[in-house]
Structure 1
Amino acid sequence: MDRDHLPPVNVVNACLRDGRGGSPTAVLDDAPLSEEQRRRVPVTLGTSHAVFVTTGEDGRGRPTASLRFFTAEGELPACGHGTVAALALLAERSGAEEYRVSLSASGRAFDGRAVREGGDREGGARYRADFDPGPVQLRRPAAEETAPVLDALGVTPDLLGDGACTIASVGRPRLLVPLRTRSALAALAPDTDRLRAACDRLGLLGCYVHSVPTAEGRAAARMFAPSIGVPEDIANANSTACLMAHLATGQGADSVTVDMGDTLGAPATITASITAGAEPGPSGPLVRVGGTAVLTHVR
């Protein structure tokens, strides 16, 4: 599918930092397209992901939206920054200053919200969006599981933070890898082919490598996901939700702010917090995750 045959596509920069950067994400109304055509959308537009949206209403007239997420490699059960991007577009279309919607993806229903923060109503509107990513499942991997992944990442024992690596899942598992410093994180140069092979063997979406959060709850992260056709993601909200659940379980933290995208020249920031006043679910604490998004243009 070339640009001339694309249906109308909104490009939304999701998870901005201080009003700039973010992850360009294709968002479009769903249409009768083949899987191959859906996979071609992000390739054609040069985005990592594409989100296909079907809107409706529930029995009480409240808005609903079904989301499907694709990369060049195929469909994903969830995409955090894609959800942020879709929420921003839906909020803009609604005209509301605060927009709430019942979302569904891969058979799971969850709620989303977007609040207008500024921008020109004729274009470039900016929204703060957040959503419930679902229960986060955590487990401690065996050393033989992490060794080939860490080797492909180029992470040696002296670089690891005090916390152990963790496999976390919101739909698909990924490995959380803590590093002592931001400088060690920035210097990583993974062997992409070996990393993909290691992740494929373990059934991992990829690796979310992060610095140890400061006392104020600020960290940096890089998400390597060659198994889904994304060598490095500018922003990854679902993995940040996984980190939040891990920090809450192990350290009692209630919020985290994560900077991403700097090595790619696209600064991005994601925030996650424990849902205030909510009792932990069967899988652990309930998390809310989100970021700021701006609508850039329509192709």
Structure 2
Amino acid sequence: MNACTRDGRGGSPTAVVIDDAMLTDDDRHAIARRTGTSHTAFIDTSTAHTPTVRFFTSACELTNCGHGIMAAQAVLLHRSGATEHHGSLRTAGRTFATSAIRRRDGFEVWFDQGVIALADYADATAGGIIAALDLQRADIAAGVRVASPGTPRLLVPVRDHLTLLSMRPDFDRLATECRRLGYLGCFTYALWPTARTAAARMFAPAIGVDEDIANANSVGCLAAHLLDTSGNGEIEVHQGDTFRRPSSISASATRTGSGIVTRVGGVVGLSPPIVLG
């Protein structure tokens, strides 16, 4: 599946496998490597009302993957032959309410991300991650924040779109710094060309993904951060341009008694099946 396409093009290639109980985790890692996609979703459909999804990269298993949830839900709707579905998917971390609607250009999928935990970036040693990202302090547009929908990552605002596109991170150093501090990765972004749109790049070499074409969970985190700091919780984020794989993800954040919750969505395009010989 091509998760989070933009205007019918691009998106993040995401492999979806109807899981087999005979597969081992080593098998799943091998399949993730062979498909050549950054993430692979394995769906256990034996529990029909709430299918369980596991996410693998070539290097590790993830407890959660936003665009993987979207790709998996699109596959389930495609297999059902229905025009829309409203239900839920279970992951290792929690159960997500989902909705999917068949469209001419693919499947529009949304999921409720839940509460986003936000904290100011307070690394006492400072600088290591910023330097690994190929940034100077003057390149940072505002405060860096930690955001977590279950796994923490850094939200790093850069001063302009050109700075964002010109970044050439040191991935080995960034992986070391993220592992040391316990972060999944760094979501760098520039609000551009309006306060309700942004361009972004997600770097997560610590989990085997140097740069993501689309990262839905981080877009939800950004929506929560913006609601918390500016009162605007609506955002559309473009990614993937450095790969010539344009992607688009939308998110909305709402303040509740439990904290800030988000809803994340985009369009998933259908690709031909992969035959693994």
Percent identity of paired positions between Structure 1 and Structure 2: 44
Alpha-carbon contact 1:145-1:202 (below 8 Å) kept: no
- The corresponding residue for 1:72 is 58
Alignment of 1:26 with 2:15, yes or no, is: yes
1:134 aligned counterpart, secondary structure: strand
Structure 1 residue 81: Cα displacement: 0.7
- The corresponding residue for 1:180 is 159
Structure 1 residue 248: Cα displacement: 0.6
Alpha-carbon contact 2:161-2:192 (below 8 Å) kept: no
**AA at the equivalent of 2:14:** T
Which structure 1 segments of 5+ residues have no match? Answer: 1-11, 120-125
1:201 aligned counterpart, secondary structure: helix
- The corresponding residue for 1:131 is 111
- The corresponding residue for 1:298 is 273
**AA at the equivalent of 1:280:** T
- Are the structure 2 counterparts of residues 180 and 90 from structure 1 closer, same or farther at C-alpha, using a change threshold of 3 Å? same
CA displacement, residues 202-228 of structure 1 (integer Å, 9 cap, x when unaligned) = 011110000035445010000000011
Moved over 4 A (4+): none
User: 2: CA distance between counterparts of 1:48 and 1:75?
Assistant: 12
Structure 1 residue 143: Cα displacement: 4.8
Alignment of 1:82 with 2:68, yes or no, is: yes
**TM-score, structure 1 normalization:** 0.87
- The corresponding residue for 2:256 is 280
- The corresponding residue for 2:239 is 260
**TM-score, structure 2 normalization:** 0.94
Matches within 5 A, 1:1-299: 12-31=1-20, 32-56=22-46, 63-119=49-105, 126-144=106-124, 146-161=126-141, 163-275=142-254, 280-282=256-258, 284-299=259-274
CA displacement, residues 42-77 of structure 1 (integer Å, 9 cap, x when unaligned) = 21011000001112567xxxx321110010111101
How many corresponding residue pairs? Answer: 273
Deviates more, 1:92-101 or 1:202-211: 92-101
Root mean square deviation of aligned Cα: 1.5
User: 2: CA distance between counterparts of 1:68 and 1:185?
Assistant: 31
1:186 aligned counterpart, secondary structure: helix
